[in-house]
């Protein structure tokens, strides 16, 4: 329901304000890792960086997987051959296509921001135009009685108290966080951007505002057109839920429905490429500050991009996807829910880093500084960690996510715990081989630090 998108937007905006303030004080490609290290010390900073890396690297595999599905769906629509859409279920074909898409995203990212911005500009404009047309046409058809359910939008759709339980509300919010997630990628490029103290922060807030408006429009349009019935084109129909755009694109746009498949395909490719930017620059910062091996700090002389870190990120994502395709696709898709928890964790930690970093100046520089550097990020951080705790508890239920379990415990919870335990193990190893960072002996440019 649209209310979930609207409510999920609030903590995201509050956290984004904290990100903006941290970026204005100390622009750094390491974002969460660097800022939380400066605020709370190396141990918390390292775990914050790990949560970001886990979320961004593993989601690369899911994005490329989505691109594969919609690539063959688009082909089936172009050639009017439904059998082409089933090719994505063939592991060899699926993995081969996945490798091609992953190589494309890695190549563009490796070439640096000049190549990235040109590709992204074209991709984003196409996506926004097609999605806006889809939502507007769906709403128009619902109003004129040409839709499936033909519902009239009401204020109740935006009422968060209409959700049946806090567990359902929390689960929905966590998923919305994943949908909104990604705006912080622009901040990892702050040191490569003109006006590094302001441009990236403004872009992050602007990105969130754009995304929430787009998703509200789409959710209202699809709900009005299709309704929530479990039959036909209804959003409650299990046959439609796996790929709602594929189910509704034809009925809404007619012959132009194929444009939705291309829009989602391009969206996945754009997200694949832009998402690869974030872990590469976090790894770069961790290598530079000697929290990881020095190779991660390598910069391509030609493209001025984090070469080794980019290749490492894409390689790990590729290995994970290939492994999961042969072991269990349930694990692959349950990582989406697990990654939502990682997003809540590292966004929340970063928000609190803003509060602590500016703890004194917030109370001595006027109401604007108090709101932007203390109150707003604190409220956003609290909300995110509450949702993290609640969703973690709910994910212990074997019925959560795909329904898979390990020893009676939900797979989503097990994956989340495994990711964090792996992070602790890697951090402990790094502490043994690179103790200087963990002992605070590595200078981290603390001239802006508020003591």
Look over the chain and give the mean of its residue pLDDT values, rounded to a whole number.
Answer: 86
Torsion angles phi and psi, residue 406, rounded to 5:
-130, 110
Identify the pLDDT of residue 447: 43
Closest CA to 134 of 5, 252, 2: 252
**Domain covering 2-438, topology:** Amino acid/polyamine transporter I (1.20.1740)
- How many angstroms separate the first and last alpha carbons of the chain? 45
Note the pLDDT of residue 243: 78
Report the candidate in 76, 31, 128, 100 with the shortest Cα–Cα distance to residue 272.
100
Q: What's the pLDDT at 251?
A: 92
Q: Which residue has the higher pLDDT, 438 or 61?
A: 438
pLDDT of amino acid 136: 95
pLDDT band at 449 (very low <50, low <70, confident <90, very high): very low
Residue written as tokens 């699926």?
94
pLDDT over 60 (residue 8) = yes
> CA nearest 310: which of 113, 95, 44, 71?
113
Confidence grade of residue 314 (pLDDT, cut at 50, 70, 90): very high
Cα gap 214→134, rounded to integer Å? 11
pTM: 0.86
247-275 pLDDT per residue, tens? 898 899 988 888 888 888 888 888 887 78
- List 409's β-bridge partners, or say none: 406
pLDDT per residue as tens digits for the range 88-121: 889 899 999 999 999 988 888 888 777 677 778 8
Tokens of 439: 């002992």
pLDDT at 440: 82
DSSP string, 168-206: HHHHHHHHHHHHHTTGGGGGGGGGGSTTTTTHHHHHHHH
Tokens 């100046």 belong to which residue?
A: 361
pLDDT tens-digit map of 172-204: 776 777 778 878 877 777 776 777 667 777 887
Task: Check residue 369 and give its pLDDT.
Answer: 92
CB 332 within 8 A of CB 62: yes
Cα 50 to Cα 295: distance, rounded to the nearest angstrom: 17
Cβ count within 10 A of residue 176: 22
Give the percent of the chain with pLDDT over 70.
Answer: 94
Dump pLDDT digits (tens) for 316-346. Answer: 999 988 888 887 777 777 887 788 889 889 9
Q: Which residues contact 359 (CB under 8 A, 6 or more apart)?
A: 374, 450
pLDDT of 368 = 92
pLDDT at 394: 86
Rounded to a whole number of angstroms, the CA Rg of the chain reads 22
């Amino acid at each position: 329901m649209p209310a979930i998108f609207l409510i999920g937007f609030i903590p995201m905006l509050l956290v984004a304000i904290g990100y903006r303030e941290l970026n204005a004080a100390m622009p750094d490609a390491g974002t969460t890792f660097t800022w939380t290290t400066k605020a709370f010390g190396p141990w918390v900073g390292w775990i914050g960086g790990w949560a970001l890396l886990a979320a961004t690297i593993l989601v690369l595999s899911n994005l490329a997987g989505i691109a594969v599905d919609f690539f063959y769906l688009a082909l089936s629509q172009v050639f009017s051959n439904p059998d082409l859409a089933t090719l994505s279920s063939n592991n060899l074909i699926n993995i081969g296509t996945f490798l091609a898409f992953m190589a494309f995203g890695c190549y563009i990212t490796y070439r640096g921001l000049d190549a990235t911005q040109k590709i992204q500009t074209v991709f984003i404009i196409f996506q926004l135009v097609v999605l806006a047309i889809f939502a507007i046409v769906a709403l128009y058809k619902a109003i004129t009685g040409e839709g499936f359910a033909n519902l009239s939008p009401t204020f109740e759709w935006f009422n968060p108290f209409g959700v049946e339980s806090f567990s359902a509300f929390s689960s929905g919010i966590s998923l919305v966080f994943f949908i909104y997630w990604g705006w912080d990628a622009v901040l990892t490029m702050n040191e490569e951007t003109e006006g590094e103290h302001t441009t990236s922060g403004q872009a992050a807030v602007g990105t969130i505002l754009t995304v929430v408006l787009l998703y509200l429009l789409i959710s209202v349009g699809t709900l009005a057109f299709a309704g929530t019935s479990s039959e036909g084109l209804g959003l409650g129909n299990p046959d439609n839920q796996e790929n709602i755009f594929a189910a509704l694109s034809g009925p809404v746009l007619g012959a132009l429905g194929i444009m939705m498949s291309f829009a989602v395909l391009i969206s996945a490719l754009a997200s694949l490429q832009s998402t690869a930017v974030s872990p590469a620059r976090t790894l770069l910062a961790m290598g530079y500050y000697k929290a990881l091996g020095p190779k991660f700090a390598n910069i391509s002389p030609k493209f001025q991009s984090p070469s080794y870190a980019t290749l490492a990120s894409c390689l790990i994502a590729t290995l994970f996807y290939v492994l999961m395709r042969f072991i269990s696709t349930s694990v692959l898709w349950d990582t989406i829910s697990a990654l939502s928890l990682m997003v809540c964790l590292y966004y929340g930690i970063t928000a609190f880093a803003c509060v602590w970093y500016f703890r004194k100046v917030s109370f001595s520089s006027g109401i604007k500084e108090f709101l932007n550097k203390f109150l707003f990020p604190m409220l956003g951080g609290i909300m995110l960690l509450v949702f993290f705790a609640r969703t973690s508890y709910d994910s212990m239920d074997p019925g959560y996510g795909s329904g898979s379990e390990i020893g009676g415990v939900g797979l989503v919870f097990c994956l989340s715990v495994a990711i964090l335990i792996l992070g602790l193990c890697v951090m402990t190893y790094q502490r043994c081989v690179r103790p200087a960072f963990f002992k605070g002996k590595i200078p981290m440019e603390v001239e802006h630090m508020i003591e």
